[in-house]
Amino acid sequence: MSDASDLRAKTVDELKTQLTDLRRESFNLRFQKASGQLDNTARMRLVRRDIARIRTLLVEKTGDTARARRARQQAARAQARAAG
């Protein structure tokens, strides 16, 4: 489990790398659970929470929220319609 203060000290690139690793681990844990090979079911919860913790920090550091992404996409579509 990652401590929030440790994660805050990391750069955005380091957080993205760790997020990728945790997503891969989450996939592997789900696969193990489906095949009946998962021994430590609590690990799934910890990984899921670490993913949420990192995503929260990435939003704080980059300001890239779902609302901001949607606004950029709508602006790009409006600009494309106006140009074409």
- Whole-number Å distance between alpha carbons of 58 and 48: 15
pLDDT one-digit tens code per residue, 19-40: 999 999 999 999 999 999 999 9
* Res 25: pLDDT: 97
Closest CA to 14 of 54, 62, 64, 46: 54
Give per-residue burial for 12-49: e unless 16+ CB within 10 Å, then b. eeebeebbeebeebbeebeebeeeeeeeeeeebeebee
Is the CATH number 1.10.287.310 carried by domain 4-83? yes
Residues 44-57, mean pLDDT to the nearest whole number? 96
pLDDT band for position 2 (cuts 50, 70, 90): confident
- Percentage of the chain beyond pLDDT 70 is 99
Q: Taking a C-beta distance cutoff of 8 angstroms, is the pair 8, 23 a contact?
A: no
Whether the model pTM is above 0.85:
no
